[in-house]
Structure 1
Amino acid sequence: MSRAICWFKNDLRIDDNPALTSAARAGALLAVYCLEARCAGDSAYGAPRMGAHRRDFIAQALAALHERLASLGVRLVVAVGEPEDVMVRLAVKNGVDSVWTVAEIAPEERWQMQRVRDALARVDVTLYETRPNTLHARDELPFELAEMPRVFTRFRRRIERAARPAPPIDPPDWCRGIEDPDLSGVAWVDSSDPPATDVPFVGGEDVARARLSHYLWQTRAVTHYKQTRNRLLGEHFSSKLSPWLASGCLSVRRVADELSRFESSVLANESTYWLMLELRWREFFYWVLARHGVRLFARSGLLDRHDRPDAVDAAVIDAWKAGRTGMPFVDANMRELAATGYMSNRGRQNVASYFIRDLRQDWRWGAAWFEAQLVDYDVASNWGNWANIAGVGTDKRDEGFNVMSQALHYDGEAEYVSYWIPELRALPRKQRHAPWLAEADQLADTGYPRLTTIPPAWRDLVPSASV
């Protein structure tokens, strides 16, 4: 009987997992996940490639996957090393003739896939790539990739007219595992014991499906998503499915299918459509990256603009990272990110705009910090959104945010900044978004930094401000 490896990456689930299903059909199966050296290092922008929150989340997801695969009769090996070495060693020692894994589009991952393909070919093992965790496969798009619409609205219209999300496939009922696999020469770690966490997100397929069911069917919070999605505090203002989608604990096709069932049997309204719209934004950035590759990561971006800020001021960037810029709305969001690995979409847009437009820093350093910190880091969405806010992405409008206006609109009672910056509770509520209005001694007593340069656009909003 033939033998196969299922190489898990950002697809840490058994439901709707084409790589697992295909590998199981190919023969007796060994599941492998690689802890690569690059994930433990720093990026070119001085930030870790993977921070503690995402590392713990993935460890939890691997423990859950370990259990799910064991119930199917398959062992999960979490190997320490580069995939091109690990796959060859395991394939040769266990008589494997095929390796199955999800397709990749990001440049580093594509280069890695080619290295693995070449290494396996030398020992007569074939690498197969299966469809990614997207609503549509490449051959299901209603246009050639070279004709990928640059603007989201055009993409959305063409997709809505001509393409339906692919139906999810159910997990295999049973697999034939490779008995007593030979792991000699491969370093591996025990994946069965998940790390504890005090943040609101826990990795794993069962947790992901429970959150989806809770948000749609149990609370029906999805029915007011459009009205609440810009809120900053609370469990149900948004779906918060992104961490599980990013790690592949949850299939986006499963989400779309459940949402469609909900609309058919309970209610279809603006809010349910808006949630689907957000899934399409995720899809859009995926195919933008597939189309443009390394250009998305350049300072000049897709628009080839060379007038973007290029400053890399360590003190300024460190204050932004630590939530100590002196702008409370920005600082509150950055402190939430540091504490939880998460930030609302409204917060992400504002802190990115402040980093680029007000602090005048090279946008790539901010995007790289998000890559390190976000528990829901997704390469295409993260870098695509940052490029847009920098004015070098898919949106030709070169506009930033008036962060003070946004703060007063979305946190009018200063509840959010008071929660994440407790030292500001010593000030009157009306000063918590503009603490520089307080007496110097009073602000000094709080320990919160004083913002010395007030953007002119803020002065009409807080007319008593002085520089």
Structure 2
Amino acid sequence: MIKTALVWFKTDLRIGDNETLVKAIAQSKEVIPVYCFDESHFETTEHGFKKTGSFRAQFLLESLQDLDVKLRELGSGLRIVQGKPEVEIPKLVQEYKVQKVFAKREVAFEEKQTEKKVELELFKLRCEFETVSTSTLYHAEDLPFSIKDIPDVFTNFRKKTEKDATIRNPFEAPTKINSPAIPAIDLPTLEALGVTKTTIDSRAVLPFKGGESQAIQRLQHYFYDTQCLSSYKETRNGMVGRDYSSKFSPWLALGCISPRFIYAEIKKYEKQFGANDSTYWLVFELLWRDFFRFMFKKYQTKFFLYEGIKSEKVNSKSLNEKLLSQWMNGTTPSDFINANMIELQLTGFMSNRGRQNVASYFCNELNMDWRVGAAYFEEQLIDYDVCSNWGNWAYLAGVGNDPRGHRYFNIEKQAMDYDKKKVFRNLWLKD
């Protein structure tokens, strides 16, 4: 048993099913929960967009506030620092004489680099560093293949995983945390983070608010209050309203709720209301999240390259500022694309159907470098998740995991199929 452990929270902003926290409590006499505002997350990328836009920054602040409240109920609290994690975390290790740091394990390139830098600095201080895999439905160790042998086609991955692997039970939330006195939470303002405050448009599918409490409330609403889960498969391609899909993605992206917790709730729901294609389909969608995360483990930096994980180049490297501006601002010749892009700009959210169409339009009709589109989504999306975003964009650009090669959406046909009466377009295109 060590005296003091530090838990470095990142995109696992929850108390429930958080193995990192559970391990730290089990192995130490006192725990210091910490969140570091990594200055690199608020920089402008090489594509000219901010890494974190207004909606996600606001959602992050709300999530941290909620986490602090939950930690204080257990006798602890959240210490906030700002700067480079490899500088700030070691400083706290020295301040509190920490013997071990626990953190969520990363898979994407930049996040891995930061993790390595922190580990190196902790090694110099003779402080242990343990990372724990907390983001997926299936644990990497339980997969029926090694990471390098994971099938590149989702269907093959899914079938074998469902047949040969089991999903672990979620961890119980701790009931008490021993901590030294943690000062009252001191969150930076949006301005201090270099982000302009924006209010979510009233037409938004949901007034998204960050935090584990809100995530559980949303699950309660979607599963038990409305039983919308039972018709999820039929409605999931919707575009208007709060309940056509689960809308869990912003909370999943910041780890305010875990896929395993959701899975356990689906199983409970099925016992109460019956299992059907729809209850399974939500698990199927969670598996897609896993798949992209494991693909990032397998291919590392390749998902950020123009040719993706393919060797032959299929899309264009060109960039036309005028066309890019029309796409971003919803002033293209296509009213269906415009409505989706205006929704994204004013709310930080877009339906799955919309995302596939605007990405296809960007890559195929405008024929521009897909990575610029992905980088714009990174700034705008309230539910940005590095693996899902870049994995999906590469997929639609024909340089990712799509077994059919270049996938092309007929935008007019899609608009007819999914917005026949123009309800969605009229909602977003009216002045």
**Normalising by the residue count of structure 2, what TM-score does the alignment of the two structures yield?**
0.94
SS at match of 1:2: strand
TM-superposed CA distance for 1:104, in Å, is: 0.3
**For residues 135-154 of structure 1, what are the structure 2 equivalents within 5 Å?**
135-154=137-156
- Aligned residue for 2:56? 54
Alignment of 1:415-426 (within 5 A): 415-423=423-431
Structure 2 contact 54–198 (Cα < 8 Å) conserved: no
In structure 2, the residue matched to 1:313 is: 320
Question: Alpha carbons of 1:74 and 1:180: their partners in 2 closer, same or farther (altered >3 Å)?
Answer: closer
Q: Which consecutive residues of structure 2, in runs of 5 or more, have no partner in the other structure?
A: 191-196, 202-206
Confirm or deny that 1:385 pairs with 2:426: no
The number of equivalent residue pairs is 417
Instruction: Determine if contact 1:12/1:62 at 8 Å carries over to the other structure.
Output: yes
Q: Which residue, 407, 410, 428 being the options, matches 1:402?
A: 410
CA contact (8 A) 1:303 1:392 kept: yes
Q: 2:187 aligns with which of 186, 190, 201?
A: 190
C-alpha displacement at 1:265, in angstroms? 2.3
Other structure's SS at 1:79 match: strand
* Alpha-carbon distance in structure 1 between the residues aligned to 2:427 and 2:138: 40
Give how far 1:273 is off: 1.1
CA drift of 1:74 comes to 1.2
CA drift of 1:160 comes to 0.9
**Matching residue of 2:421:** 413
Secondary structure of 2:338's partner? helix
- 1:328-339 aligned within 5 A: 328-339=335-346
8 Å contact 1:104–1:132 — kept in the other structure?
no
Partner SS, residue 357 of structure 1? helix
Partner Cα distance (1:387, 1:76) in 2: 37
Residue 432 of structure 1 corresponds to none
Mapped to 2, the partners of 1:236 and 1:261 lie a distance apart of: 20
The question of whether the paired residues in 2 share the 8 Å contact of 1:23 and 1:100 is answered with yes
Indicate the residue corresponding to 1:303 in structure 2: 310
Instruction: Tell me the alpha carbon deviations over residues 295-322 of structure 1, each in whole angstroms, 9 at most, x when there is no partner.
Output: 1111111112223111111111111111
Q: In structure 2, the residue corresponding to 1:27 is in which secondary structure?
A: strand
Deviation for aligned residue 1:264: 2.1
Residue 109 (structure 2) aligns with:
107
- Any idea what the Cα deviations from partners look like across 1:209-265, whole Å, max 9, x if unmatched? 011111111100011111111111011100000110000000110001100111122
Contact 1:4/1:29 (8 A) holds in 2 = yes
**2:20 match:** 19
The residue type equivalent to 2:239 in the other structure is L
Amino acid at match of 2:132: T
The SS at the match of 1:100 is: strand
Q: CA deviation at 1:21?
A: 1.1
SS at 1:238's partner residue? coil
Is the 2:100–2:128 Cα contact (8 Å) retained in structure 1?
yes
Letter in 2 for 1:162: D
**Alpha-carbon distance in structure 2 between the residues aligned to 1:277 and 1:385:** 16
User: What's the offset of the Cα at 1:29?
Assistant: 1.1
CA–CA distance in 1 between the matches of 2:105 and 2:73?
A: 26
Residue pairs, 1:452-467, within 5 angstroms? none
1:344 aligns with 2:351: yes
Asked if 1:71 corresponds to 2:73, the answer is yes
Per-residue CA deviation, residues 165-191 of structure 1 (Å, 9 max, x unaligned), is 11101111001002357x9xxxx9337
Asked if the contact 1:146/1:291 (under 8 Å) is kept, the reply is yes
- Structure 1 residues 197 and 203: alpha-carbon distance in aligned structure 2, compared to 1, 3 A threshold: farther
Q: Distance in 2 between matches of 1:151 and 1:40?
A: 34
Greater Rg, structure 1 or structure 2? 1
RMSD of Structure 2 on Structure 1 (CA): 1.7
Shift of 1:197: 5.3
CA distance in structure 2 between the partners assigned to 1:234 and 1:369 by the alignment: 24
Structure 1, residues 39-94: CA drift from partner, whole Å, max 9, x if none?
Answer: 11111211110000000000000000010011111121111111111111111111
Percent identical among aligned pairs is 38
3-state SS in 2 of match to 1:80: strand
Contact between 1:62 and 1:191, CA under 8 Å: does it hold in 2? no
**Larger RCO (CA within 8 A; separation ≥ 6):** 2
Q: Which amino acid aligns with 2:53?
A: G
Q: Distance in 1 between matches of 2:180 and 2:287?
A: 39
Cα distance in 2 for residues equivalent to 1:132 and 1:289: 15
Q: Is the 8 A contact 1:63 1:192 kept in 2?
A: no
Letter in 2 for 1:413: K
In the alignment, the residues of structure 2 paired with residue 32 and residue 312 of structure 1 have an alpha-carbon distance, to the nearest angstrom, of 41
Could you tell which deviates more after superposition, 354-363 or 307-316?
Answer: 307-316
Q: Which residue is equivalent to 1:426?
A: none
Where do 1:338-377 residues align within 5 Å?
Answer: 338-377=345-384
Shift of 1:399: 2.2
- 3-state secondary structure, aligned to 2:303: helix
* Structure 1 unmatched runs, 5+: 424-467
Instruction: Assess if the C-alpha contact under 8 Å between 2:314 and 2:398 holds in 1.
Output: no
1:133 aligned to 112, 132, 135, which one? 135
From 266, 287, 295, the equivalent of 1:259 is 266
What amino acid sits opposite 2:208 in the alignment? F
Write the distance in 2 (CA, Å) between the matches of 1:267 and 1:415.
32
Deviation, structure 1 residue 96: 0.7
Indicate which of 290, 293, 297 corresponds to 1:290.
297
